[in-house]
Amino acid sequence: MVRYVYEFAEGGREMAGLLGGKGANLAEMTRMGLPVPPGFTVTTEACRAFLATGSVPDGLDREISEHLSALERAAGRRLGEPGDPLLLSVRSGARFSMPGMMETILDVGLNDESVLGLAKVSGNERFAWDSYRRLVQMFGSTVMGVDGALFDEVMARLKERRGAADDLGLDAADLAELVEAYKELIRDRTGEYFPQSPAEQLRRAVLAVFQSWNGERARIYRRREHIPDDLGTAVTVQTMVFGNLGSDSGSGVAFTRDPATGRPGLYGDYLPNAQGEDVVAGIRNTVPLDELGRLDPESFARLRALMRTLETHYRDLCDIEFTIERGTLWMLQTRVGKRTAEAAFAIAGQLVEEGLISEDEALARVGGSGLARLMFPRFDTAAVGEALAHGIPASPGAAVGAVVFDSAEAVRRAAAGERVVLVRQETTPDDLPGMVAAQAVLTSRGGKTSHAAVVARGMGKVCVCGAEEIAVDPHGRRFTVGGTTVEEGTVISVDGSEGAVYPGAAPLVDSAVMRYFETGGRGEEPAGLVAAVARAMRQADGVRRLGVRANADTPEDAARARRFGAEGIGLCRTEHMFLGDRRQLVEAMILAGTDAAREQALDALLPLQRRDFVGILEAMDGLPVTIRLLDPPLHEFLPDRTELAVRLAAAEAQGSPPSAHDAELLDAVNRMHEENPMLGLRGVRLGLVAPGLVAMQVRAIAEAVVERKRAGGDPRAEIMVPLVDTVEELRIVREEVEQVLAEVADRSGVALSCPVGTMIELPRAALTAGRIAEEARFFSFGTNDLTQTTWGFSRDDVEAAFFSAYLDKGIFTVSPFETIDREGVGRLVEIAVAEGRAVRPDLKIGVCGEHGGDPESVHYFHAAGLDYVSCSPFRVPVARLEAGRAAL
Ligand code: ADP
Ligand code: MG
Ligand code: MG
């Protein structure tokens, strides 16, 4: 028999999959003996069943009513009982936290009768009507689908008539009037009455929370965070406690450490005489948590003690939501809190020092994408000039973009390729698409726990909030600050680390973490954040099994990669060595009519290539350098066909004789044109049909090795053949390579050994890897091409054409070009690894596609038993860190 409902006391934090994060952690706190209002949780399984079939799964109603009865017995009150009503909150909560993305309904159980009972037993009429108007408003918008803004307008009109600055300026009679107006609004919009039956309210609220899983914001958020669409949300039903009972009551949110910087110490916002949603909604200005210490020292002390208990128990930064009801503290939520990349590293380091976690655990809690963010440039504080405004640094980083004032405009401009900064008085969940599209979010209201701050931090977006000097005028599409007006489209710079806003595009400098890597860790003694990063890197390097190399084509890149910790080059492309001034020589080679002419062109290219190789081998002295023979089709080195034709036509129109060279080039371009160059004459195929090309490149490599050896170096060149389909191709090329190596060794008297290996980037190569390993000393998976050819996707075409539709439809949650497709491409990788190693046990296997620097993919390559990953120099620290985490 499936069970759909669990009482708090029956659950625990390990049950987040079934009870959602919120339900599981409420259960955990209950078990720890913390003051949690009693309740129960409906499982995500019930939600999945409901969403799949559209009807309430068998037995759920019965289970809910049994648990409700138990709750009522314990409370000695019944749901919605007219004289003394038990009230409930109905709360969403998925396995992965999706703050504010789904729905929660408070004060369920109130109706025209019980509101009077509540007024009487509480002795507070205003409170009773305030709670009722909240229920009608939340139920009306969430369950009955009335646009929430309409309720706000009704309230705004009433406030204006009463001359009230905020909701506290409305008295009991006003609130009763508001309830009537809300009910009318609902009837007007839906043709239905606000339901008076508490049981019906509860049932419909539960279903509405189920449905909120598929709400638009929830879907957008999941897509961005790569959360699967089929998990569903749990529903927690909980006894209400009241923060809106007067000035000795209130609601707040708090963090055990600063989630933006990681600095230790309690952090949060408190709002007296309010229910929870008010704190993050920015309805009234919150006060810093310290202020609670003065308002209610006893509750504050209690809160501090409980937070310490939680942090020690979870051994991590926790955030909590709490309510104080007439001097009694209640815990309403906790979770291991989201934090910025900076805070993640800082806190992990602190917790190790405090003896709460091990170095390995600390490493598990930081990540490559966060590290990459810390390597982004910062504004040059010495050169930025005067700030336009200051606010609260809510989510660090430097962002530059054109100012926009609503979500739709942000989305529109970003889709057109523009960088934008979303400026709002405060954000609401409806702003989510715009926040996703923007480089940064700037608000004039709200603290570090406001919606803007929480969501931006979760997404790693730059955010400055509560910049109170700014007056935002969304209708006029401008903001003013001091005497300055900033119109939509104006470029500004937002410094989320300092909480400052600058006009124009402020100058950038390397971040401290970047400077640390740039000096190869040998710069100034690391402190603070840099020390925390250094510590994590040390741990990662100590535990990782995967080697990390870089893709680098120039001595400068090779040197940088080495400073960043690369243990060699996994992919040195030779194509750029054919560009620039050398194009002419390449053209001459392609156009050569005779062997002599071709040799002459090749001979001219050789010393130039040799010089490049010498520089790279020197920068990577003592470490392997895998050089790939020329890969792209030769016509890529010729001028564009249209351009040539136009040039010739122009000459003709002017009556001047067409250039013979251009005519010859056009002829060659036409001859070499391919319908589908990606699958055409390239890679090893080129080496097999273009005479002398392989020999020239190998000679350049071999002579570079000789030169480095003579200079006392330790060059370790490896030669890699691209786009091999069958062992025969590799055999022929390898023989040619060996022959040239032998020749150069002979002539120079210097012994040469350059292992020859191959890329595995075509399905056929992976499927026949056992054969290919007979000829290859190493494999390197070219996962870009392997993904293209396995899926039959032309990357340049598909990404713009239909990938976003595929992501929307959930065909994949992430592009297979970003994160390796384990199921398909991964299967080929596994076959190739197994069959290759069976034939040649000491076969070296690496990967050199862009996946080599993608955190998730690195974990996969570790599990697949590869020897190393190779990625762009800037991703090397990311790959080292993730390779370490993969080995934990
Ligand atoms: P979210 O996931 O969006 O944070 P929650 O379910 O946490 O939604 O509810 C939002 C707020 O509603 C909470 O922060 C809390 O202050 C208030 N709330 C929820 N349940 C109760 C309750 N049982 N008593 C009082 N307030 C509650
Ligand atoms: Mg919450
Ligand atoms: Mg390739």
Domain boundaries, the chain: 71-239, 250-336, 376-509, 544-633+674-886
Establish whether residue 411 lines the binding site of ligand 1, counting it when its CB lies within 6 angstroms of any ligand atom: no
Instruction: Please give the number of the atom of ligand 1 that sits closest to the Cα of 253.
Output: 14
Per-residue DSSP letter, 496:
T
Establish whether residue 104 lines the binding site of ligand 1, counting it when its CB lies within 6 angstroms of any ligand atom: yes
Per the DSSP assignment, residues forming a β-bridge with 272 are 250
In the CATH scheme, what is the homologous superfamily, with its name and number, of domain 376-509?
Phosphohistidine domain (3.50.30.10)
Query: Where do runs of H (alpha helix) occur along 520-675?
Result: 528-543, 555-563, 583-591, 595-619, 641-653, 660-672
Query: Where do runs of H (alpha helix) occur along 683-801?
Result: 684-689, 693-710, 727-748, 763-767, 769-772, 783-791, 795-801
Distance 782 CA to ligand 3 centre (A): 5
Ligand nearest to the CA of 631: 3
Distance 310 CA to ligand 1 centre (A): 19
Q: What is the DSSP string of 603-623?
A: HHHHHHHHHHHHHHHHHTTTS
Q: Is 871 a catalytic residue?
A: no
Quick: pLDDT tens for 133-182: 999 999 999 999 999 999 999 999 999 999 998 888 999 999 999 999 99
Instruction: Check residue 282 and give its pLDDT.
Output: 66
Per the DSSP assignment, residues forming a β-bridge with 319 are 255, 335
CA atoms within 13 A on the CB side of 713: 21
Q: What's the CA angle centered on 393, arms 391 and 396, to 5 degrees?
A: 140
Q: Which of 150, 80, 151 is nearest to 113 (CA)?
A: 80
Instruction: Check residue 800 and give its pLDDT.
Output: 73
Mutational test site, ligand 1, from 321, 329, 428, max ligand atoms within 8 Å of CB: 321
Instruction: Please give the number of the atom of ligand 1 that sits closest to the Cα of 333.
Output: 7
Q: Is 390 a catalytic residue?
A: no
pTM: 0.84
Distance 458 CA to ligand 2 centre (A): 14
Establish whether residue 558 lines the binding site of ligand 1, counting it when its CB lies within 6 angstroms of any ligand atom: no
Query: Where do runs of H (alpha helix) occur along 321-400?
Result: 341-353, 359-364, 368-374
Mutational test site, ligand 1, from 236, 270, 277, 324, max ligand atoms within 8 Å of CB: 277
Give the CATH fold of the 71-239 domain: Acyl-CoA Binding Protein (1.20.80)
544-633+674-886 maps to which CATH number? 3.20.20.60
Catalytic residue selected from 67, 390, 451, 635: 451
Interatomic CA distance for residues 584 and 653, integer angstroms = 26
Interatomic CA distance for residues 768 and 174, integer angstroms = 79
Distance 788 CA to ligand 3 centre (A): 10
Asked if ipTM goes beyond 0.95, one says yes
* Cβ partners under 8 Å of residue 414, min gap 6: 420, 437, 438
Establish whether residue 97 lines the binding site of ligand 1, counting it when its CB lies within 6 angstroms of any ligand atom: no
Interatomic CA distance for residues 464 and 452, integer angstroms = 9
Establish whether residue 100 lines the binding site of ligand 1, counting it when its CB lies within 6 angstroms of any ligand atom: yes
Interatomic CA distance for residues 364 and 879, integer angstroms = 14
Instruction: Please give the number of the atom of ligand 1 that sits closest to the Cα of 277.
Output: 11
Dihedral angle at the C-alpha atoms of 131, 134, 140, 143, nearest 10 degrees? -80
Ligand nearest to the CA of 94: 1
Per-residue DSSP letter, 658:
P
Ligand nearest to the CA of 102: 1
Residue 750: enclosing H or E segment and its boundaries? none
Instruction: Check residue 453 and give its pLDDT.
Output: 87
Establish whether residue 23 lines the binding site of ligand 1, counting it when its CB lies within 6 angstroms of any ligand atom: no
Low-confidence residues in the chain, pLDDT < 50: none
The position carrying tokens 């408070």 is 106
What would the 3-class secondary structure string for 664-711 be?
HHHHHHHHHCCCCHHHCCCCHHHHHHCCCHHHHHHHHHHHHHHHHHHC
Give the CATH fold of the 250-336 domain: D-amino Acid Aminotransferase; Chain A, domain 1 (3.30.470)
List the structure tokens of 175. Answer: 């609130």
Catalytic residue selected from 318, 465, 754, 848: 848
Establish whether residue 142 lines the binding site of ligand 1, counting it when its CB lies within 6 angstroms of any ligand atom: no
Instruction: Check residue 295 and give its pLDDT.
Output: 95
Establish whether residue 37 lines the binding site of ligand 1, counting it when its CB lies within 6 angstroms of any ligand atom: yes
